[in-house]
Amino acid sequence: MKLSRLVTREIFHRKMNFFLTLAGVSLAVTCVLATLAAMRSYDLNSDKIIAKMEADTQAQMKKLEDDIRKTMKGLGFNIYIFPKDQDMSEVYDQGYASKTMPEEYATTLANSKIVTVNHLLPSLTQKLEWPEKKRTVILIGVRGEVPLAHRDPKSPLIDPVKKGELVIGYELHRSLEIKAGDEVTFKGKKFKVGKTHPERGTKDDITIWMNLTECQELLGKIGRINAIQALECNCATLDRLGEIRAELMQILPDTQITETGSTALARAESRNKAKETAKKQIAAAKANRVQMSKEREKFAGILLPIVLLFAMVWIAMLALMNVRERVTEIGVLRAIGVSAGIILSAFLSRAVLAGLLGAIAGVVDFALIYPFVKERFFQGVAMSEVVSGSEWIVALLAAPILAAVSAWLPSLMAAQKDPADVLRHD
């Protein structure tokens, strides 16, 4: 007679008790696996979503950068070249440079093999009083575009002002009632109004454009200019100013360069903003994922011990019932010489068997149910991704151990039953 025979016969005899024990273990194993799977599937799914967000954002940013590069290539953007010793705060304050530089800088630049600049416009600007009209105006001397020696001629962006002519801004010609073709006197010299500008809503509206040479003579700055405007600068990279600066500084080391606002710049800024926003969204999604994950872990941290505790109490109660039902049997076995160790083994091996079969049932239950609830509760993640092979094994090994631990106390009570006490009261 082997102990295993006694155990299996008893199990078949008290099927309900054994089945209830097994069902308890099975339910606990299924709950544990489902909790793990829920957490894992959420993490995997949110990882996928974030990865997709990152990939989409990256693709969008790349496309945006390409678009901007193309746009900027087509549009170009504008820079000002000032004398190196010019205080830029003064430029920002009054709108032009007080320092001057030689006019031939423009020619030097035009004759160089500069590739990043398309159009060069030297100018001499000064704010002064139009004594004849008692008005403060901005006088700009321009000579038109300096052609780039190494390039095919391009259409000039700005027409030069002919000698003896003036171009007058809107506010001036409107308030002074000056029309194109009129003759006006400026600082004692007679000029013909070659052109009047429509309203621009900028300082151009109080500006007078004059031929550069005449302007230099008028201001006593022969051969001097205070700015070269470079228009439609083309750059391959996004660091346009750096690229142009690097090229210009080699040709005109005594100058400094600044960028004027442009549509492309605004676009670049909006692109940067979009990138920043996308980054923030991804960061927020990641933070949310971490937060949700933590909350789920916290929930699982409460749920799992409760499930395990209930399972253990359930197993212990059923084991205790089994012991109580078998008190006389235990007494007789002890009386005929069966050791306490054998009695303990009989009860523990019953619990271990219930644990093992319950674990198998729980694993099988989970595996059978999972495909039907995958979409609804587990984000559609494949079962192999949420429960690893080693976790199946752990579940199969841990459940019998847990069952044995749960049944330990009742089994010990059985083993320690005093046969005399049992038989005396029989």
Partner 1 sequence: MTDSTQIAVKAEGLHKRFVTSEGEVHAVNDVSFEVKAGDFVALHGPSGCGKSTLLLMTGALLSPDEGLLEIAGENPYALKAEGRAAFRGEHVGFVFQQFHLIPYLDVLDNVLIGELAGEKVSLEDRARELLDKFNIGHRLHHVPSKLSIGEQQRVALARALLREPELILADEPTGNLDPENSEIILQHLADFADDGGAVIMVTHDDRARAAAKTSMHLDGGRMQGGDQEKPGEQESA
Reading the block at residue 78, the tokens are 């504008």
Is 56 within 8 Å of 282 (Cβ atoms)? Answer: no
* Closer of 373 and 420 to partner 1 (Cβ): 420
- x/- mask, partner 1, residues 128-147, rule CB under 8 A, reads --------------------
Q: Applying CB under 8 A, does 329 fall inside the site for partner 1?
A: yes
CB of 407 to partner 1, least distance (A): 19
Nearest to 33 by CA among 423, 377, 409, 314: 377
* Closer of 68 and 353 to partner 1 (Cβ): 353
Tell me which stretch binds partner 1 (CB under 8 A): 102-110, 120-128, 164-172, 331-339. Answer: 331-339
* Closer of 393 and 423 to partner 1 (Cβ): 423
For tokens 């996308």, what's the residue?
A: 278
Q: Applying CB under 8 A, does 324 fall inside the site for partner 1?
A: no
Interacting residue with partner 1 among 119, 334, 350, 417 (CB under 8 A): 334
CB of 420 to partner 1, least distance (A): 4
CB of 36 to partner 1, least distance (A): 38
Determine what percent of the chain falls in helix, strand and coil, rounding each to the nearest 5.
Answer: 60, 15, 25
Interacting residue with partner 1 among 338, 367, 396, 398 (CB under 8 A): 338
Task: For residues 270 and 60, give the distance between their C-alpha atoms in angstroms, rounded to a whole number.
Answer: 13
* Closer of 175 and 416 to partner 1 (Cβ): 416
Structure letter (DSSP) for residue 208: E
Q: Applying CB under 8 A, does 342 fall inside the site for partner 1?
A: yes
Interacting residue with partner 1 among 157, 332, 344, 396 (CB under 8 A): 332
CB of 419 to partner 1, least distance (A): 5
Is 398 within 8 Å of 330 (Cβ atoms)? Answer: no
Structure letter (DSSP) for residue 198: P
Task: For residues 370 and 379, give the distance between their C-alpha atoms in angstroms, rounded to a whole number.
Answer: 11
CB of 344 to partner 1, least distance (A): 12
CB of 414 to partner 1, least distance (A): 14
Q: Applying CB under 8 A, does 9 fall inside the site for partner 1?
A: yes
Q: Applying CB under 8 A, does 4 fall inside the site for partner 1?
A: no
Nearest to 369 by CA among 212, 361, 236, 24: 361
* Closer of 329 and 365 to partner 1 (Cβ): 329
Task: For residues 269 and 261, give the distance between their C-alpha atoms in angstroms, rounded to a whole number.
Answer: 11
Tell me which stretch binds partner 1 (CB under 8 A): 54-62, 66-74, 165-173, 336-344. Answer: 336-344
CB of 385 to partner 1, least distance (A): 46
Interacting residue with partner 1 among 340, 360, 398, 401 (CB under 8 A): 340
Q: Applying CB under 8 A, does 157 fall inside the site for partner 1?
A: no
- Residue 380 phi, psi (nearest 5): 75, 10
Q: Applying CB under 8 A, does 3 fall inside the site for partner 1?
A: yes
* Chain residues 349-388 in contact with partner 1, contact rule CB under 8 A: none
- Residue 184 phi, psi (nearest 5): -130, 160
Number of residues counted as binding partner 1 (CB under 8 A): 28
CB of 10 to partner 1, least distance (A): 5
Tell me which stretch binds partner 1 (CB under 8 A): 64-72, 90-98, 148-156, 335-343. Answer: 335-343
> Which are the contacts of 214, defined by CB distance < 8 A and separation ≥ 6?
141, 163, 164, 189
| CB burial of residue 228 (10 Å; 0-12, 13-18, 19+) | buried
Is 90 within 8 Å of 258 (Cβ atoms)? Answer: no
Question: CA distances (Å), 88 to each of 84, 147, 186, 308, in order?
Answer: 10, 28, 29, 74
- Residue 236 phi, psi (nearest 5): -80, -35
Q: Applying CB under 8 A, does 5 fall inside the site for partner 1?
A: yes
Q: Applying CB under 8 A, does 149 fall inside the site for partner 1?
A: no
Number of DSSP helices (H) and strands (E) in the chain, helices first: 13, 11
Residue 197, classed as helix, strand or coil, is: coil
Binding site for partner 1 (CB under 8 A): 1, 3, 5-6, 9-10, 12-14, 328-329, 331-342, 419-420, 423-424, 426
